[in-house]
Amino acid sequence: MSISPGTPGPAALELRGVTKSFGAVVALKSANLTVQMNSIHALVGENGAGKSTLVKVIAGLYQRDAGDFLLRGESVNFKSTAESKASGIAVIYQEPTLFPDLSVTENIFMGRQPTNRFGRIDRKAMRDETIDLFGRLAVRIDPDRPAEGLSIADQQIIEIAKAISLDARVLIMDEPTAALSGVEVDRLFAVARSLRDEGRALVFISHRFDEVFALCDTITVMRDGEYISTDNIDDTTVDEIVHRMVGRNVTELFPKAEAVIGEVVLDVSGLTSAGMFDDISFQVRSGEIVGLAGLVGAGRSEVARAVFGVDTYSRGTVKVGDTRVPRRDPIAAMNLGLALVPEDRRKQGLVVDSTVARNTTMAIQRTLTKAGMLTSGAENAAARIWASRLEVKTNALDTIAGTLSGGNQQKVVLAKWLATNPRVLIIDEPTRGIDVGTKAEVHRLLSELAGQGLAILMISSELPEVLGMADRVLVMREGRITAEIMRADATSESVMYAATHASEIHS
């Protein structure tokens, strides 16, 4: 049961018509958000809808290109995060940045510790206030323990405590429950409600509709950088919201061509890694695209990394064809025909400071050597072939990869792996942060590759992509596979449902 939002008077936070671009990439076309005091306001949208960018504008990290930004009725223009903090805005990120060596208490008060006349820090006052804060939040954390090793849930509580001690009137929580267990979520919600009742305004960004509908009183939908709608939670349903988030006829945009589905190429059985994923079993056949859907934090990337050998696992097997893939050995995995296009393009997929040619040929260097020697001539020749096959847009092969657009960077990563002539391609978030035109190219490419017999495991948080491309959809939630849905039965609703509902028993 939620309290009706809105103390009469100016809204706590109001953004109208806000736009923001980065070079050629338009992150926000026109964003609106009006949050009242005494309210928990949900902000939903797919990846790429612009939510994170909007939050960063509110936090003062970015400056908007155009549009109004009002705080309690007054126009503001923050040039730094310090300014927004001073005005009473606090952002709780999914992964807080704390000082691991310092105590919880010091983390909350760093930079503004209470002092006496001589400048001596009053530790007792600081500690008492921390205990008091934790009491108000009804949590139990030892104020003297170092911040290191705290669970994400506790780190978030500390960030919230910090925000309250700064008397933040607007708190934005960016996907706070992604890494939380059921009990921790309950605790967080209790905290959020008590903050709301104190007259603050909360913004809750999440994909998890059961949580959104349980906690929030108002919901705003964004899509493709634009404002779509705002409603009272009681006046709408999950289906309506999902429909507005997705908003287009899915099957037209990402056609997957018919392909002959052959024998099983990738066979994963009983894969387990404590705390990350449990008893994961699935198969991918040649010519097939298997989509792996789920919410952020479900454990999909962890499975991919374990299969490829970057991370380890404690139980289970991975086989390509009939051969067992050794654990924790990416080179062996590569030699057996596995390829992984990782989630974090800039940190894991590419060496951003290196050239297109070097990046493209990085995985096949050994095959390009003559008598152990590798010349840039050989590199360039191979790079040329693959870059042009994927139509990477760049002038020269020695362009630094970090200067390419997101879409072209992704093409380079793909080129690198396709050059190894793989049998199985695992691709994690194939089109995240990529413009629409290149998206279509990547999808066409994946479709063609499947047609040529490649087995593809595609991890994606974008429903239209999953629904359009996959022959079969596996859905993961909290480390387990909760559903396997064939193409014909896969709809936004059925996938979302499986992604947000586990068995009734919380772990």
Partner 1 sequence: MSTLTTKPTPNALLTGLGTFLRARETSILLALVLVIVVTTIKNPNFLFSSDGFRDLLLTPSILVLVAVGQAIVIITRSVDLSVGSTLGLTAYLTGRLFIDVPGIPIIVVVLAGIALGAVLGLVNGALVAFAKVPALVITLGTLYAYRGINVLWAGSDRVNASDMPKDFLHLGTTSYFSIPLLTIIALVVLVAAAWYMRNTRGGREFYAIGSEPAAAELYGLKVTKRILVAFVACGALTGLAGVLYAARYGTINSQAGSGLELDAVAAAVIGGVAIFGGSGTVWGAALGAVLLLTINRALPILGVPDFWQRAVVGALIIGAIVLDRLLALRQTRKLRETRNDSHE
Partner 2 sequence: MSNTVAAAPTRVYRDYGQPYWRRALVTRESGIIALFVIVVLAAIVGVPYFDQPITMTYLLLDVAPILLIALPMTLIIITGEIDLSVASVVGLSSVLLGTLHQAGLPIPLAALVAIFAGAVGGAFNGFLVTVVGLPSLAVTIGTLALYRGLAVGLLGTTAVTDFDPFWTSLAKSKIGDTGVPSIMIPFVILLIVFAVVLHFTPFGRGVYAIGQSSEAASFSGVKVQRTKFILFVLAGAVAAVAGIYYTLRYGSARGDNATGLELQVIAAVLLGGVSIFGGRGALHGVIAGVLLIGVLGSALRLANVTSDVINIITGTLLVLSVVSTSFLVWLHKKQPRNRGIKDGSHAAKA
Q: Helix 123-137 crosses helix 152-165 at what angle (to 10 degrees)?
A: 110
Here the tokens at position 444 are: 């066409």
Other CB atoms within a 10 A radius of the CB of residue 51 amount to 25
**Rounded CA separation 103/106 (Å):** 5
Q: Is 347 in the site for partner 2 (CB under 8 A)?
A: yes
**Is the dihedral angle over the CA atoms 133, 139, 144, 145 positive or is it negative?**
negative
**Rounded CA separation 170/36 (Å):** 10
Taking the complex as a whole, how short is the minimal distance between the CB of residue 193 and partner 1, in angstroms? 12
Of the candidate residues 212, 390, 458, 481, the single one contacting partner 2 (CB under 8 A) = 390
Q: Is 98 in the site for partner 1 (CB under 8 A)?
A: yes
Q: Is 328 in the site for partner 2 (CB under 8 A)?
A: no
Partner in contact with 82, chosen from partner 2, partner 1, none, beta carbon below 5 to 8 Å by kind: partner 1
Of the candidate residues 135, 182, 255, 270, the single one contacting partner 1 (CB under 8 A) = 135
Which range, of 3-11, 164-172, 183-191, 266-274, touches partner 1 by CB under 8 A? 183-191
Q: Is 151 in the site for partner 1 (CB under 8 A)?
A: yes
Per-residue contact string for residues 1-40; x = within reach of partner 2 by CB under 8 A: ---------------------xx-x-x-------------
Half-sphere exposure of 227 (CA within 13 A, CB side): 18
Per-residue contact string for residues 57-76; x = within reach of partner 2 by CB under 8 A: -----x--------------
Taking the complex as a whole, how short is the minimal distance between the CB of residue 482 and partner 1, in angstroms? 25
Other CB atoms within a 10 A radius of the CB of residue 356 amount to 29
Which range, of 8-16, 125-133, 363-371, 488-496, touches partner 2 by CB under 8 A? 363-371
State how beta strands 455-459 and 289-294 pair: parallel
Q: Using alpha carbons, select from 399, 434, 379, 317 the residue that is nearest to residue 446.
A: 434
Partner in contact with 166, chosen from partner 1, partner 2, none, beta carbon below 5 to 8 Å by kind: none
Partner in contact with 448, chosen from partner 1, partner 2, none, beta carbon below 5 to 8 Å by kind: partner 2
Half-sphere exposure of 463 (CA within 13 A, CB side): 25
Taking the complex as a whole, how short is the minimal distance between the CB of residue 74 and partner 2, in angstroms? 27
Q: Which amino acid is at 397?
A: L
Per-residue contact string for residues 296-315; x = within reach of partner 2 by CB under 8 A: --------------x-----
Residue 237: alpha-carbon gap to chain centroid:
24
Partner in contact with 451, chosen from partner 1, partner 2, none, beta carbon below 5 to 8 Å by kind: none
Q: Which amino acid is at 350?
A: L
| Residue count of the chain | 507
CA-to-CA separations, 181 to 156, 186, 236, 253, 477, in angstroms, rounded: 13, 9, 27, 36, 11
| Element holding 192 (H helix, E strand) | helix 182-197
Contact between residue 440 and residue 410 where contact means Cβ atoms under 8 Å apart: no
Partner in contact with 392, chosen from partner 1, partner 2, none, beta carbon below 5 to 8 Å by kind: partner 2
Q: Which of residues 15-44 bind partner 1 (CB under 8 A)?
A: none
Q: Is 99 in the site for partner 1 (CB under 8 A)?
A: yes
Q: Which is nearer to partner 1, 135 or 262 (CB)?
A: 135
The contact set with partner 1 (CB under 8 A) reads 81-82, 85, 97-102, 106, 110-113, 115, 119-121, 131, 134-135, 138-143, 145-146, 148-151, 153-154, 183-184, 187, 190
